[in-house]
Amino acid sequence: MTDAREVIARRVAAEIRPGTLVNLGIGLPSLVANYIPADFGVFFQAENGVIGMGARPPEGMQDPDLTDAGGGFITAVPGAAAIDSAMSFGLIRGGHIDVTVLGGLEVDERGRLANWMIPGKMVPGMGGAMDLVTGARRVIVAMTHTNKDRPKIVARTELPLTSARPVDLIVTEMAVLAPTPDGLRLLEVAPGHDAAQVRRATGAALSD
Amino acid sequence: MKQAIRATELAALVPDGATVMIGGFMGVGSPERLIDALVTCGRRGLTVIANDSAVPGVGVGKLVTAGAVVRLVASHIGLNPETQARMNAGEIAVELVPQGTLVERIRAAGVGLGGVLTPTGLGTPVEDGKPVIEVEGRRYLLETPLRADVALIAARRADYVGNLEYFLTAQNFNPVMAMAAKLVIAEPEHIVPVGVIPPDAVRTPGALVDHVLGRAT
């Protein structure tokens, strides 16, 4: 069976239009870049301060001053720009990022994302996630459908929200969902699954 | 003309209990030699304002490990388990601030603004206790300025008058922090004669910089 993360990354990549400015979160979302053709004219922003992030550099050629938001070594593509944090988050909050792809802990029935802390267990901090969800023109959540068989898409989340703004699309290895004013809509079922399976693995009502 | 100063002298300018801004993002663009000097002289009770606490042994992480920090204002601490452990033990008070809000609060202090209005954090725990202000039909949180006693700035190059130039993703919070503290200490990788850094490449004018850390000997 194909790896769930690869299924998700490939499906999200199909959402990315040519010539756009895209911010990918660390972890699973960063895999999306593997499925975007180099000649697509997409620039990837890393919020620590670069537009035009490229692939990993060859071994031994890493520059300690050129990294992604996870601190990993990157390259810069032709046309890249280096920016400070105020410019970087001005772009994010100001609506200049076309698409952001973020991981998620839970999404509620209104499409609101929680992805920055589990009270009493894990308090990593929100980093740039709150600004990205609030300010990017389109927000896509890329995450596995369940966590150890527990639904991650739920009617109500007990977790602190990342933003009050609903996300635009949720892509999992089982389905593609879109929040609407009337709740979550099931747009697509991934090959190898059926709608009944998706509904059983989801903790919120899904309309067709 | 600035005089190059030794790390040991600079540490003496940062007393116990000071509020210190430290540039860097996961240790990239962090003034490591100045941080080492603070650890070596055993500073205590510092309030540190920084994007993150890096990882143990790197950047702000060194100060955390040394027990120098009692309060940390940052956007992310998830990659440094020691910060989490000390927070849980009550040794460090952590204020988590969204990254874009953190940089704008620092910028506000540096450019003389009374705060910033941002939609980031509305409807989340970040909103707690803060005024919500409506402007032109949109709601914003009022976030207050963040200022410091000292800013420790990492730069690619400094010239003899203290003009600073940064490199790639090592800029991050450095140019903004260089405006928001009473005392600004820069740690450049290279010090070059005046004129080598072209005026258009100067990101932090030397007028903002109080001291330049001399070449490592």
More confident site: A120 or A200:
A200
The answer to whether A158 is a known catalytic residue is: no
Tens-digit pLDDT string for chain B (217 aa): 888 899 888 778 999 999 999 999 999 999 999 999 999 999 999 999 999 999 999 999 999 999 999 999 999 999 999 999 999 999 999 999 999 999 999 999 999 999 999 999 999 999 999 999 999 999 999 999 999 999 999 999 999 999 999 999 999 999 999 999 999 999 999 999 999 999 999 999 999 999 999 988 7
What residues make up the domain containing A67?
4-207
Q: In the predicted model, what is the mean pLDDT of residues A70-95?
A: 96
First to last CA, chain A: 27
- Report the SS3 class of residue A50: strand
Closest CB to B98: pick one of A86, A130, A161: A130
Q: Which residue of B has its CA nearest to A122?
A: B78
**Tell me, what's the pLDDT at B202?**
98
Closest CB to B99: pick one of A64, A71, A131: A131
Contact A128 B175 (CB under 8 A): no
**Best residue of A26, A51, A131, A139 to probe chain B, by most B CBs closer than 10 Å:** A131
A107 torsion bin: left (phi>0), alpha (psi -120 to 50), beta (else): beta
**Tell me, what's the pLDDT at A126?**
95
Contact A125 B75 (CB under 8 A): yes
**What residue has token string 């932090």?**
B204
For the domain made up of B4-102+145-213, give the CATH fold. Answer: Glutaconate Coenzyme A-transferase (3.40.1080)
Closest CB to A131: pick one of B74, B98, B167: B98
Contact B168 A127 (CB under 8 A): no
Closest CB to A65: pick one of B169, B176, B203: B169
**Tell me, what's the pLDDT at B195?**
96
**Tell me, what's the pLDDT at B1?**
82
Q: Which residue of B has its CA nearest to A82?
A: B168
Count of A-B CB contacts under 8 Å: 143
Count structural domains, chain A: 1
B119: chain A residues, CB-CB within 8 Å: 93, 134-135
Q: What is the pLDDT of residues A108-142, one digit of tens each?
A: 999 999 999 998 888 899 999 999 999 999 999 99
**Tell me, what's the pLDDT at B11?**
76
**Tell me, what's the pLDDT at A120?**
83
Question: Of B62, B80, B145, nearest to B111 (Cα)?
Answer: B145
**Tell me, what's the pLDDT at B13?**
94
Q: Is residue A1's pLDDT more than 60?
A: no
Residue A145: give its domain's CATH number: 3.40.1080.10
Domain residues of chain B, as ranges? 4-102+145-213
**Tell me, what's the pLDDT at B163?**
98
**Neighbouring residues of B217: CB distance < 8 A, sequence distance ≥ 6:** none
Range from A9-13, A119-123, A146-150, B102-106 carrying the lowest mean pLDDT: A119-123
> At CB < 8 Å, which residues of chain A contact B?
46-50, 63-67, 69-71, 76, 82-86, 89-90, 92-93, 112, 122-131, 134-135, 160-164
